[in-house]
Structure 1
Amino acid sequence: MKFAYSVKQKMKIAVLLFCIMGCTLLIRFLEDKSVKDMNESFVSMYNDRLIPATDLFYVAENAYLKKSLFEEVLYEPDHLFNPDELKDTLGKLNNAIDSLITKYGRTFLVKQEKEQLSELKKGLLTTIGIENKILAAAASGGIAEARKLYEAEGRESSRRTIGKLSALMSIQKQIGEELIKDSAFMVSGNKIYSAFQVALAVVIGILIVGIVFTSNVVKISNDKFNLN
């Protein structure tokens, strides 16, 4: 009778151990998935946020350089004005901006970023068009005509373009903050998984002690039976 009871108890423990093993494997799977997601999140943060944010910074720097260049060149003494040198410098800055924008466009972009990037490209093309008009005015009418056109259109166009660039950088910051929150959530999930593993280890320890205790009880009962 006691032997049958012992076998029944051991079967219950075996089933429970099997369930614990299944839970352990599931937790392990969830941990691996969480680590993989965290790795992808960090890679995305570097490739799609940190590097592009740096590129946008250089785009902004070049845009400010163009604005400062016009402010400096168009308001210096007339005899120092060199339209060819201005055109050459603007060409280099515009090429650098175009290269950076193209590189930025290859990264992962959310819907807001795509829309804002499209607006920024339009603004850059408009600004370049006005710059060419200013250069043409300088060639035909001199620095005075170029200065009037810059004051009428150029300065405001540069301001709008820089504003669109700032908006894009703000979206970049928001997405980066969301990625950080997601990573923090994944870390907290791993902590929960670790706590479950510790709890399962404790349960397994208790079950092992139970199995050993049950075995000793059966052995003692069998010894008494043999003595009788």
Structure 2
Amino acid sequence: MKFAYSLKQKTKIAVLLFLIMVCIILIRLLEDRSIKNMEKAFTSLYNDRLVPATDLFYIAEKFYAKRYLLEAYVYNDQNHLNAAQLQLKLNDYNNDIDTLLFKYEKTFLVTNERNYLDELKYKIRINKALEKSILSNPSPTDKTGIKILYNSEMEASFLDISDRLSQLTKVQTTVGSQLREESQKIVRGTSLYSTLQLLIAIVIGALIVSILAASNVMNIRNDHYNLN
């Protein structure tokens, strides 16, 4: 009878320890997944938001430089650059912009970001066509025609491009904020898993103490039985 009771108690303890072991493994797996998700969120925050935001700044900077050169060519009667020299300068800026846009396209893009980017590329194509129209002016001295073209279309083109760049920059801020909130949730989840591990450790400690106490009680009872 005593053997059966002892076996029953050991079985209960074994089952309890097995359940605790399963809980520890599950918590460990969840914790590993949280760490991977956190690493993914931080990587995306850097590669897909911080770097593209910097590239957008450089693109805007190069458009401002192009605008300055074109304004100087159109409105300044004593240009330091002729049409051919200016075209070479603008080509350099355009190549740099295309390289940055190609790099930007390789990042993760949300839906509205993709739409804004497509609009930006379309506006840039229009801008390049207007550049060619201005630089193909047949009369270097009479700039009435290209002044009208610049005022009526090129100014609007630069404003459209600036607007699309601004929209894309806002997307970086919005999505970056979402990634930050996601990271904070992951941190809170990891903290919860650590708390659960601590509670399980306490349960294991309490179980060990109860087993030792029960063992001492059984030994005392057996000593009394032997003395009798």
Check whether TM > 0.5.
yes
Change (3 A) 1:219 1:144: same
Alignment size in residue pairs: 228
Indicate the larger mover: 138-147 or 211-220.
138-147
Are the equivalent residues in 1 in contact too, given 2:113–2:168 (CA < 8 A)?
A: yes
**1:143 is the counterpart of 2:143:** yes
Change (3 A) 1:39 1:79: closer
Equivalent residue for 2:34? Answer: 34
* Whole-angstrom distance in 2 between the partners of 1:221 and 1:3: 15
Percent identical among aligned pairs is: 46
* Whole-angstrom distance in 2 between the partners of 1:146 and 1:81: 16
The residue type equivalent to 1:227 in the other structure is L
Change (3 A) 1:20 1:77: same
Q: How does 1:119-158 map to 2 (within 5 A)?
A: 119-137=119-137, 139=139, 142-158=142-158
Are the equivalent residues in 2 in contact too, given 1:3–1:218 (CA < 8 A)?
A: no
1:2-54 superposed Cα distances (whole Å, 9 cap, x missing partner): 66545433432322221111101100000011111111111122221121111
Change (3 A) 1:115 1:79: closer
The residue type equivalent to 2:77 in the other structure is P
CA drift at 1:79 = 6.0
Q: How does 1:63-212 map to 2 (within 5 A)?
A: 63-78=63-78, 82-137=82-137, 139=139, 142-212=142-212
Taking structure 2 as the reference length, what is the TM-score of the superposition? Answer: 0.93
1:47-96 superposed Cα distances (whole Å, 9 cap, x missing partner): 21121111111111111111222223322224656222221111111111
Change (3 A) 1:76 1:15: same
Tell me, what secondary structure is at the counterpart of 1:109?
Answer: coil
The residue type equivalent to 2:147 in the other structure is R
Are the equivalent residues in 2 in contact too, given 1:78–1:143 (CA < 8 A)?
A: no
CA drift at 1:133 = 0.9
Equivalent residue for 2:61? Answer: 61
Indicate the larger mover: 62-71 or 153-162.
62-71
Equivalent residue for 1:217? Answer: 217
* Whole-angstrom distance in 1 between the partners of 2:14 and 2:139: 92
Change (3 A) 1:185 1:79: closer
4+ aligned runs moved over 3 Å, structure 1: 1-10, 78-81, 138-142
1:86-128 superposed Cα distances (whole Å, 9 cap, x missing partner): 2111111111101110111111111111111111100100111
Taking structure 1 as the reference length, what is the TM-score of the superposition? Answer: 0.93
The residue type equivalent to 1:64 in the other structure is Y
* Whole-angstrom distance in 1 between the partners of 2:205 and 2:34: 27
- Mind listing any 5+ residue stretches in structure 1 that lack a counterpart? none
Equivalent residue for 1:23? Answer: 23
